[in-house]
């Protein structure tokens, strides 16, 4: 097993470090420089402009990838879209018909609830696109169209490289759907440019892992952590909190920063750890004022931001290059993976095989 870990201590550490490469490979599969090329989709005789609703379905980390995709879809297209964990979708009596499109995301392509959701969609005559990491998986065989993340085998139970490759692939797919549905995306060129350079942005985060390790020592002996963010940053805080609880067993919750004052702030006390994201320029200042409310109550804050100027009142600031706001969640996610990873090591947890969890949940 040591050889399989390629010199790293754990599979998770190895998989975190593979991200620049696998992101690049995934993009290479569906893009020619800044030109999107999804042959699998081009050969379908679908009337894209006729779709009446689009569902995004997945479980766990893949569900977070779905939240991201739906956010983009909703920004760019005028068709009603919904995002649901597969276990809710399948029992929620969704309005499916021949004009609906279901987009299913599953690393393994075997998750029972996601598979059941796909079968349901097919029975109702809906169209389906699956995003999976495993060639020949059950979901890949059943979906009308299957697109693959090129993450390679993911061994650690907590998903890292599969997730970030899902994000880039979903971004490409959403742009392509917008084009096929005749919706224009204003700044598509800058988006595609930043996408093409994503491996460089990710590499830059990995090169700062010692700083991230340092910050994560704030979590030593803590029982709870609070993740806050607004807009797309909320997707990242959900994933960051999930990663932390999965592998370090620290109780972590994610909140919309603006919702803090409606309840969660009651929990903040001296020594609470708050991990805050301010990557979305239009709401960053708002989030900063939420952070100050937690600091006034004695919280220790790790701020992850792309803002140029940040007050010296913040002790733990991690700066990220200013890239397109719809892509910034990728480097942010890597920071959050590393925070969770180092917190788990401090707690002496088995990061590759966390208690009670399975890599692929094939029973309900």
The answer to whether residue 106 forms part of the interface with ligand G6P (CB under 6 A) is: yes
Contact map string, positions 51 to 70, toward ligand G6P, x by CB under 6 A: --------xxxx--------
Closer CB to ligand G6P, 297 or 359, in the complex: 359
Choose which of 108, 165, 248, 328 interacts with ligand G6P (CB under 6 A).
Answer: 108
The answer to whether residue 360 forms part of the interface with ligand G6P (CB under 6 A) is: yes
> Cβ of residue 138: shortest distance to ligand G6P, in angstroms?
11
Contact map string, positions 144 to 183, toward ligand G6P, x by CB under 6 A: -------------xxx------------------------
Closer CB to ligand G6P, 108 or 305, in the complex: 108
> Cβ of residue 196: shortest distance to ligand G6P, in angstroms?
26
Closer CB to ligand G6P, 165 or 328, in the complex: 165
H or E stretch including 129? strand 127-132
Q: Which of 5, 213, 286, 359 is catalytic?
A: 359
- Which residue in 353, 351, 357 sits closest to 248, CA to CA? 351
Read off φ and ψ for residue 264, nearest 5 degrees: -55, -30
> Cβ of residue 183: shortest distance to ligand G6P, in angstroms?
28
The answer to whether residue 107 forms part of the interface with ligand G6P (CB under 6 A) is: yes
C-beta of residue 345 within 8 angstroms of C-beta of residue 246: no
> Cβ of residue 65: shortest distance to ligand G6P, in angstroms?
8
| Cα–Cα distance, 14 to 45 (Å, whole number) | 41
Cβ burial of 206 (10 Å; 0-12, 13-18, 19+) is: middle
DSSP one-letter code for 52:
-
Closer CB to ligand G6P, 107 or 287, in the complex: 107
CA atoms within 13 A on the CB side of 158: 31
Cβ burial of 232 (10 Å; 0-12, 13-18, 19+) is: buried
Choose which of 10, 81, 114, 305 interacts with ligand G6P (CB under 6 A).
Answer: 114
Choose which of 142, 183, 206, 361 interacts with ligand G6P (CB under 6 A).
Answer: 361
Site for ligand G6P in 340-359 (CB under 6 A): 357, 359
C-beta of residue 238 within 8 angstroms of C-beta of residue 254: yes
> Cβ of residue 64: shortest distance to ligand G6P, in angstroms?
8
Closer CB to ligand G6P, 133 or 294, in the complex: 133
Closer CB to ligand G6P, 266 or 357, in the complex: 357
Whether 180 is catalytic: no
Q: Which one of the spans 101-109, 183-191, 279-287, 302-310 is the region binding ligand G6P (CB under 6 A)?
A: 101-109
| Cα–Cα distance, 212 to 160 (Å, whole number) | 16
Write out the two tokens for 204: 């830059």
Read off φ and ψ for residue 137, nearest 5 degrees: -65, 160
> Cβ of residue 354: shortest distance to ligand G6P, in angstroms?
8
Closer CB to ligand G6P, 60 or 240, in the complex: 60
Residue at token pair 């220790």 = 300
DSSP 179-196: HHTT---TTHHHHHHHHH
Residue 187's CB is within 10 A of a number of other CB atoms, namely 12
The answer to whether residue 81 forms part of the interface with ligand G6P (CB under 6 A) is: no
Strand residue runs (E) in 167-265:
224-229, 251-256
Q: How many helices and strands in the chain, by DSSP H and E?
A: 14, 12
> Cβ of residue 117: shortest distance to ligand G6P, in angstroms?
11
Write out the two tokens for 216: 């994560």
Judged by the rule CB under 6 A, the positions of this chain that interact with ligand G6P are: 59-62, 106-108, 111, 114, 157-159, 357, 359-361
User: Catalytic residue numbers?
Assistant: 359
């Amino acid at each position: 097993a040591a050889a399989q870990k390629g010199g790293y201590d754990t599979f998770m550490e190895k998989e975190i470090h593979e991200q620049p490469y696998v992101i690049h490979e995934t993009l290479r599969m569906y893009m020619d420089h800044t030109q999107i090329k999804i042959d699998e989709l081009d050969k379908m005789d679908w009337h894209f402009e006729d779709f009446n609703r689009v569902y995004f379905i997945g479980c766990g980390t893949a569900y977070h990838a779905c939240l991201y995709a739906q956010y983009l879809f909703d920004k760019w297209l005028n068709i009603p879209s919904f995002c649901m964990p597969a276990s809710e979708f399948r029992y929620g009596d969704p309005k499916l018909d021949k004009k609906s499109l279901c987009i299913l995301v599953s690393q393994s392509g075997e998750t029972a609830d996601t598979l059941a959701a796909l079968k349901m969609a097919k029975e109702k005559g809906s169209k389906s696109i699956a995003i999976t990491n495993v060639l020949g998986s059950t979901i890949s065989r059943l979906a009308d169209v299957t697109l693959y993340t090129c993450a390679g085998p993911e061994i650690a139970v907590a998903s890292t490289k599969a997730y970030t490759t899902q994000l880039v692939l979903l971004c490409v797919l959403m742009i392509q759907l917008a084009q096929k549905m005749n919706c224009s995306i204003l700044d598509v060129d800058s988006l595609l440019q930043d996408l093409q350079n994503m491996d460089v942005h990710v590499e830059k985060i990995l090169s700062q892992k010692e700083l991230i390790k340092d910050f994560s020592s704030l979590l030593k002996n803590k029982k709870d952590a609070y993740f806050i963010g607004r807009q797309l940053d909320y997707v990242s805080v959900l994933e960051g909190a999930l990663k932390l609880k999965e592998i370090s067993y620290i109780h972590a919750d994610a909140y919309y920063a603006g919702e803090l004052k409606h309840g969660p702030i009651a929990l903040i006390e001296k020594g609470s750890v708050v991990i805050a994201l301010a990557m979305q320029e239009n709401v960053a200042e708002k989030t900063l004022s939420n952070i100050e409310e937690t600091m006034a109550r004695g919280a220790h804050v790790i701020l992850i931001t792309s803002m140029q100027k940040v007050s010296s009142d913040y002790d733990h600031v991690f700066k990220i290059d200013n890239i397109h706001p719809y892509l910034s969640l990728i480097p942010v996610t890597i920071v959050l993976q590393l925070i969770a990873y180092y917190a788990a090591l401090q707690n002496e947890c088995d990061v590759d095989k966390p208690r009670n969890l399975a890599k692929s949940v094939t029973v309900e």
